[in-house]
Chains A and B, each alone.
Chain A
């Protein structure tokens, strides 16, 4: 399973766009890239998943370059309620390996 590296923490202000980049140099051909969000005292919540290029849903966008060795989660116009820990995961099938995540703090 590929190891992921992401910043430990990030600060932002309400209304800004936040980009969290994850490095996964050893990603395998069949691996998917998945992002989860976790609020305090809650279980993680699936945000978005992609394999290559760009994926967008109602919550976020995921940008994946051609070499797939990194990926960027983009949160448009964050609000205070987006303060959470964001996890980047790489793998296939059911075995998700969570790293330490990025603690995003959104300030007014």
Chain B
């Protein structure tokens, strides 16, 4: 398997623009997670899905952030409008069979977002 795939790897945009980050989880995994990492705040869980259903979105910073998982092989994280403080590395992770352990998550390479 190719692992968790994220796109784009780098994104530079201007304040106010819409940003869409994409994630393809490992085939067969039934849980998907979105994280944000910054030097100041470390690694924060934004939202996670189980069987395509959002289970916990308490980490989503505000209404400008939204996440969807239309099917088991694709998820998006959208920021609209973007602000400079959204600059961070965004990771997508998935978990599921064969280990079946939710705490054994496989992370993608991340998307480095810069908002100017």
State the A residues within 8 Å of B (CB).
32, 34, 41-46, 49, 87, 89, 91-101
Chain A residues near B91: list those with CB within 8 A.
Answer: 43-44
Main secondary structure of the interface of A (DSSP, over half): loop
Interface 9-mer from B68-76, B80-88, B97-105: B97-105
Number of interface residues of B (CB under 8 A): 25
State the B residues within 8 Å of A (CB).
4, 31, 33, 35, 42-45, 48, 50, 55-56, 91, 93, 95, 101-110
Identify the closest chain A residue to B106 (Cβ).
A46
How many Cβ-Cβ contacts under 8 Å join chain A to chain B? 57
Contact B101 A42, beta carbon cutoff 8 Å: no
Contact A43 B109, beta carbon cutoff 8 Å: yes
Q: How far is the CA of A34 from the CA of B43 in the complex (A)?
A: 15
Q: How far is the CA of A44 from the CA of B109 in the complex (A)?
A: 9
Q: Given contacts A43-B93, A49-B101, is CB(A97)–CB(B45) below 8 Å?
A: yes
